Structure 1
Amino acid sequence: MVAHRLRKAYSGRDSDHSPPSYPDNGDDLRRYQDLYKAALAGDWETAEGTFKSDPDAKTARISLGPETALLLAISMGRTQFIKKLVQRLSPEDLEMTDSNGQTALHFAAMYGSLDVVKTLIDRHRTLTQIINAEGFTALHTAAIFNRKEVTQYLTLKTTDDHPGCPFTGPKAGSLIQALVWSGSYDICIRLSKIYPDLALTNELGLGMLEALTDKHSDFKSGCKLNFWQRCIYHLLPVEVEHDHTPRCLLSNDVEAPQVNPQIPPTSTTYWTRVRQWSIKTAGKAQDYFAFGAIKCIKDEKYKHKCTQKLVEVTCKVIADRLTPREINQFFASQNILRRAAMSGIVEIISICLENFPYLIWVKSTFAATLQSAVALRQEKVLNLMLEQSAFTKALSNEKDGCGPKILRSAAKLSPYPELSSVSCPALQMQRELQWFKAVEEFVHPQVREHKDKGGRIVGELFTRKHRRLLRDAEKWMKDTSSSCMVVSTLIATVVFAAAFTVPGGNVDGKGIPLFLNERVFMLFAVSDALALFSSTTSILMFLSILTARFAEEDFLRALPKRLILGFTSLFLALATMMVAFGATLYMVVSERFKWILFPITALTAIPVALFAMLQLPLLIFMVQSTYFPRIFHPKKIW
């Protein structure tokens, strides 16, 4: 959203600056046609010949833009051509612009070529301060078009001087928003420390804190990691350097603090230095040896640290600059808490409430936040907001003409992203019931029975909104149970027959198996019996699902429990059947092939492993959703 609006403003024509007008250059277009092609292709020999015969060609406008040969070459990324041409141009020539007022540095920042940017700045130091028709410097351009390396470099080379004043001028809001959108959080932290008012700048309806609400995936609450990734995440040492400020980021009248980024000023003891050296060495070793997934997890953790630090810095600036009344107006006008609740960013809400606890008493702000958390099924946000005050309880029981607001939000169907995060319709229905029941328990019983203008209570609204999902859940349950029952029946048939046709046969006239005294025969007998009992249990569970009534309440616990038991029994039956088959095969051929044990073990493990890999995640999720629902575990802020 931020990027779209910034790019629209960047390319818009409704600015107060009127684009410069140029004379008709039709004759130049025909005369410099070869130079035009040479600039696009990076053909320096042809261009050099043109420059020798016509020195004015270096700065002639050779396109309808109108662009010069330099601007065309930059737009195509012809680095060697550009370097040779820049040496032939004067610094004043580099200030030439196109119809949008964009210099060669703007084009290089848009294209994202760091070598070209360095070449231009080395030739003309103050080129970074020139603005285009929209008032944007090259730094704005690089940030808006997400050129991170160029943005980092231009941040070091750009000063807060006229005419651009990118850090305190009218376009400072666009800069900080573009930096947030592009993920240049380290730059945002440094700039916010030097220019604190950047945190409060507001342009295009967005400030830095509100722009962060669109970066859900860059916060820890928006990152989904599995068990092993979470273990690695907590072990990785990641720190955000915010005390070390490059000198060229500062304005001319401010001296850079002399800070050693490795050892903080307060670190004076020997053991503190040893500890810091160990952390630094471990970090370097990790950077050297960590490849692939570990490096990605480290980058994710660094982003999480940066975004959290940005929120903390912004809240500190707000507390220093604004009065409590102005703070209430600031959060109400920008809807920061509500936008954070809609995105599920717990960090923004918790840090804001830590710094400004009186925000919970602002009804217009907190009520909308609570309503959005319920409507969009943001359980982490809701857990953070519940049980905090009597005011929260009062908001949860607030009514309008149609009944209790919060309960009606829970009765409606979840939006698609939250609903699709659950794997199947049956579990989606279960999750919807869990949400409704949890919110219903939080609401006063008298409020639950409130009827709308049509004489219907909120429970009837839930039934009407989830009618289609209920049909899909019933169909999925029946189809899954039918398919699994067929497999269970086949397993039961096979293992039942194997119990009466034991490997090797029986002793004549006695019915005693010939391999009865072999230890592997006991393995066969036990596994065959377990396979029969498990498959029979699985058949009964799936049959009970097929004959169930499929009411709404059944999807909360009754049907998921049967499905869990059916899946577990089927998995056990499949595993024990393969064990019985392996034991039988070993008894038959082991006399001739002594080495057959390991191939049999490996081959019998393949179908079991495949079944576990494909079906075990669903089973685990079903167990967690049925026995360990994560809704409503209130967390403390203060």
Structure 2
Amino acid sequence: MDKEDLELKEELAQFTPLALACLDGFIEIAQCMIHKNPRLVCIVNENGHLPVLLAATRGKKEMTRFLYSVTPSEELAPEKGPNGATLVSTCIVKQMLDVALDILEKHPRLAISSGKDNFTPIYVLAQMPKLFPSGGSLWFWQRWIYYCTNVRLRRAHDQIPTYIGENSSQQSRQSDNIIVNVLNQLHGMVSHLLDFLDLGIKNMHAKKLRNRQAIKLLKCISCTIKNLKVEQLDESLVYQAIIQAVKHGIVEFITEIIDSNPDLLASEDFSKRNIFLTAILHRQEKIFGLLHRLDNLRRIQMISHVDMFENNMLHLAGMLAPPRQLDGISGAALQMQRELQWFKEVESVVPQTFKDVMNKDGKKPCDLFTEQHASLMKDGEKWMKEIANSSTFVAALIVTIMFAAAFTIPGGTNEKTGMPNFLQNPLFMLFITSDAISLFSATTSVLMFLGIMTSQYAESKFLTRLPTKLIIGLSTLFFSIAAMMISFSAALAIWLNDPSTKYVILPLILLASIPVSLFALLLFPLLVEIFISTYGPGIFDRRIERWY
């Protein structure tokens, strides 16, 4: 074929052969085509999309990196149209941050340039909370791996596959393929081993690399908007980007962008809500915590702000949280507790007069809270009564069993004295002690759950009183089940004390531990969540470290 033949387009969407290869990620074919005709990377399709943009849209990361390395940089400049900004936004969405960062370092103004969808890269980045450290919580062992992992930021050009030229010898290709195959097999074996051990090292490394790339990308964007005027900020969707970052709880985005341009602290949405009113409405406690780090003057300005419906901070705290925020909390009662915690926190910040201020609908904050949380309160009452009802049945059954077991003494009693035959045996004392603990714990659990079923379900009771009863009830039920299994195992050990039967004691004790383990797996996480939610450090950050 002549190289001009590769520039022919099919009729449907005006795709060149290179564009079709890009859509499916055929890197070797694309390399050969570009080697023959380098102009192919600059030919657009019917929608004006460059081949590198087509590959990025389909999520073909290796193909995108390769095409970006051979696409002239001026083709992505803001002056050449929306392809550059669209490519940056697409790379952010597809998490090819190395490519996005490399483009912005060459063309910084692309960060505030509109793409083909009329969105700017800064606006797109503000809707990607998973790219930032604040966008997800880690277990303690994941945090340890995360902080111990060393990552190195690589440029997009460092990850481009090796070019396969038409003059390469078959022998060299075969030897390269053999080496590549061996390396891939070794890499696969190591990867499977790490996955088998469930260490999560690869995932934590990828997460930390993503976080560092996102932070560097954010710093590059913040330098671009540093000296922009109000009209330019509005055209670039910077104000809207800040509001989107608040809705998604991206603390790093808010602090970095406002540090670069302090005037952006006064950003508002279309309802005239500033960043702190928006944080309350969307229950983003990390953003709201920044309020405590403002100086007195700015804090008063932020607190005194009202939206276009004359809602103050307390009104917005009285509104029901978005479903995506409540879905992460177990049970309607704990959701109601979290809503009360938000209302009390905001109430402690605003002046006392805010409690009696009415909005445009003539409603006070407390009236608005009661109205919007009526359904959630009923669901919380139903949820707690269902748990209490089922747990009462289990606890009452344990009380019956352990009361009867106390008078069914293993080994019998002495006919003359009436004393147990195994009174001096340590296992017998373990049996009696664990039996008594199980009986008393189960009785306490029954009383706590009865107290839950007969409690007054007012709004304020969901804050500490009802959760405390549930904590005591579930804790004592757990202890009663564990003590019951210990009592059972001790009785077995007494009965099977003969040398010929000792080999069955250990398997039976292991079987007895199954119910305790199941209870711990099923209900213990809920118990921990309730305890932390009620008596933990809280979800709000009141650090004195000054921000502005």
Measure how far apart 1:330 and its partner are.
6.2
Q: Does 2:481 align with 1:574?
A: yes
Select 1:374's aligned residue among 280, 284, 299.
280
Q: 1:334 to 1:403 in 2, by over 3 A?
A: closer
Q: 3-state SS of the aligned residue for 2:21?
A: helix
Deviates more, 1:514-523 or 1:290-299: 290-299
What is residue 388 of structure 1 aligned with on the other side? 294
What is residue 120 of structure 1 aligned with on the other side? 33
Select 1:606's aligned residue among 495, 509, 514.
514
Q: 2 CA distance for matches of 1:606 and 1:288?
A: 30
Q: 1:246 to 1:550 in 2, by over 3 A?
A: closer
Q: Does 2:130 align with 1:225?
A: no
Q: Which amino acid aligns with 2:43?
A: I
Measure how far apart 1:630 and its partner are.
2.8
Q: 1 CA distance for matches of 2:73 and 2:284?
A: 41
Q: Does 2:104 align with 1:192?
A: yes
User: RMSD of the alignment, in Å?
Assistant: 2.6
Q: 3-state SS of the aligned residue for 1:531?
A: helix
Identity score, percent:
33
What is residue 176 of structure 2 aligned with on the other side? none
Q: 2 CA distance for matches of 1:603 and 1:426?
A: 35
Q: 3-state SS of the aligned residue for 1:335?
A: helix
What is residue 170 of structure 2 aligned with on the other side? none
Q: Does 2:541 align with 1:633?
A: yes
Deviations 1:374-408 (A, max 9, x none): 11111111112444132233332334686542211
Trace 1:430-469 onto structure 2 (pairs within 5 A). 430-452=337-359, 455-469=362-376
Contact 1:542 1:562 in 2 (8 A): yes
Q: 1:160 to 1:333 in 2, by over 3 A?
A: closer
Q: Which amino acid aligns with 1:568?
A: S
Q: Which amino acid aligns with 1:302?
A: L
Q: Does 2:63 align with 1:150?
A: yes
Q: Does 2:547 align with 1:547?
A: no
TM-score by length of 2: 0.87
Deviations 1:303-326 (A, max 9, x none): 11111111011112333xx34656
Q: Does 2:109 align with 1:183?
A: no
Q: Which amino acid aligns with 1:417?
A: R
Trace 1:266-305 onto structure 2 (pairs within 5 A). 290-291=194-195, 293-305=200-212
Q: 1:327 to 1:596 in 2, by over 3 A?
A: farther
Contact 1:137 1:166 in 2 (8 A): no
Deviates more, 1:608-617 or 1:400-409: 400-409
Q: 1:454 to 1:137 in 2, by over 3 A?
A: closer
Q: 2 CA distance for matches of 1:454 and 1:90?
A: 74
Measure how far apart 1:335 and its partner are.
1.4
What is residue 564 of structure 1 aligned with on the other side? 471
Q: Which amino acid aligns with 1:169?
A: K
Deviations 1:214-243 (A, max 9, x none): 21222211123222222221221123235x
Q: Which amino acid aligns with 1:624?
A: I
Q: Does 2:237 align with 1:237?
A: no
Contact 1:160 1:168 in 2 (8 A): no
What is residue 273 of structure 1 aligned with on the other side? none
What is residue 594 of structure 1 aligned with on the other side? 502
Select 2:20's aligned residue among 107, 112, 120.
107
Q: 1 CA distance for matches of 2:107 and 2:361?
A: 57
Unpaired segments ≥5 residues, structure 1: 1-88, 249-285
Q: Does 2:248 align with 1:343?
A: yes
Trace 1:321-336 onto structure 2 (pairs within 5 A). 322-323=227-228, 329=234, 334-336=239-241
Measure how far apart 1:289 and its partner are.
7.1
Deviations 1:387-430 (A, max 9, x none): 41322333323346865422111111111110111010110110
Q: 2 CA distance for matches of 1:183 and 1:168?
A: 25
Q: Which amino acid aligns with 1:561?
A: T
Q: Which amino acid aligns with 1:140?
A: L
Q: 2 CA distance for matches of 1:382 and 1:141?
A: 40
Contact 1:423 1:618 in 2 (8 A): yes
Q: 2 CA distance for matches of 1:556 and 1:175?
A: 49
Specify the structure having the higher radius of gyration (Cα). Answer: 1
What is residue 486 of structure 1 aligned with on the other side? 393
Q: Which amino acid aligns with 2:386?
A: D
Q: 1 CA distance for matches of 2:310 and 2:240?
A: 25
Contact 2:225 2:261 in 1 (8 A): no
- What is the count of residue pairs matched by the alignment? 509
Q: 1:247 to 1:486 in 2, by over 3 A?
A: closer
Deviates more, 1:513-522 or 1:571-580: 513-522
Q: 3-state SS of the aligned residue for 1:337?
A: helix
Contact 2:78 2:113 in 1 (8 A): no
Deviations 1:259-312 (A, max 9, x none): xxxxxxxxxxxxxxxxxxxxxxxxxxx989744522112111111111111101
Q: 3-state SS of the aligned residue for 1:593?
A: helix
Q: 2 CA distance for matches of 1:585 and 1:509?
A: 25
TM-score by length of 1: 0.75
Q: 1 CA distance for matches of 2:435 and 2:466?
A: 29
Q: 2 CA distance for matches of 1:357 and 1:567?
A: 50
Measure how far apart 1:192 and its partner are.
1.8
Measure how far apart 1:455 and its partner are.
4.9
Measure how far apart 1:328 and its partner are.
5.4
Q: 2 CA distance for matches of 1:245 and 1:119?
A: 18
Q: 1:634 to 1:113 in 2, by over 3 A?
A: farther
Contact 2:303 2:313 in 1 (8 A): yes
Trace 1:52-131 onto structure 2 (pairs within 5 A). 89-99=1-11, 100-131=13-44
Q: 1:239 to 1:495 in 2, by over 3 A?
A: same
Q: 3-state SS of the aligned residue for 2:3?
A: coil
Q: 3-state SS of the aligned residue for 2:73?
A: coil
What is residue 505 of structure 1 aligned with on the other side? 412
Q: Does 2:121 align with 1:208?
A: yes
Q: 3-state SS of the aligned residue for 1:237?
A: coil
Deviates more, 1:89-98 or 1:422-431: 89-98
Q: 1:247 to 1:425 in 2, by over 3 A?
A: closer
Contact 1:450 1:457 in 2 (8 A): yes
Q: Which amino acid aligns with 1:375?
A: L
Measure how far apart 1:105 and its partner are.
1.1
Q: Which amino acid aligns with 1:133?
A: E
Q: Which amino acid aligns with 2:262?
A: P
Q: Which amino acid aligns with 1:413?
A: L
Q: 1:602 to 1:168 in 2, by over 3 A?
A: farther
Contact 1:128 1:158 in 2 (8 A): yes
Contact 1:361 1:391 in 2 (8 A): no
Unpaired segments ≥5 residues, structure 2: 161-189
Q: 1 CA distance for matches of 2:267 and 2:530?
A: 40
Deviations 1:126-152 (A, max 9, x none): 211111222221001111221111101
Q: Does 2:48 align with 1:135?
A: yes
Deviations 1:170-202 (A, max 9, x none): 122111111111111011122222222222322
Q: Does 2:263 align with 1:355?
A: no
Q: Which amino acid aligns with 2:81?
A: P
Q: 1 CA distance for matches of 2:405 and 2:480?
A: 14
Q: 2 CA distance for matches of 1:454 and 1:187?
A: 50
Q: 2 CA distance for matches of 1:492 and 1:372?
A: 52
Q: 1 CA distance for matches of 2:158 and 2:472?
A: 62
What is residue 418 of structure 1 aligned with on the other side? 325
Deviations 1:555-585 (A, max 9, x none): 0000000000100000000000000000001
What is residue 168 of structure 2 aligned with on the other side? none
Contact 1:379 1:631 in 2 (8 A): yes
Q: 1:383 to 1:236 in 2, by over 3 A?
A: same
What is residue 222 of structure 2 aligned with on the other side? 315
Q: 1:160 to 1:453 in 2, by over 3 A?
A: closer
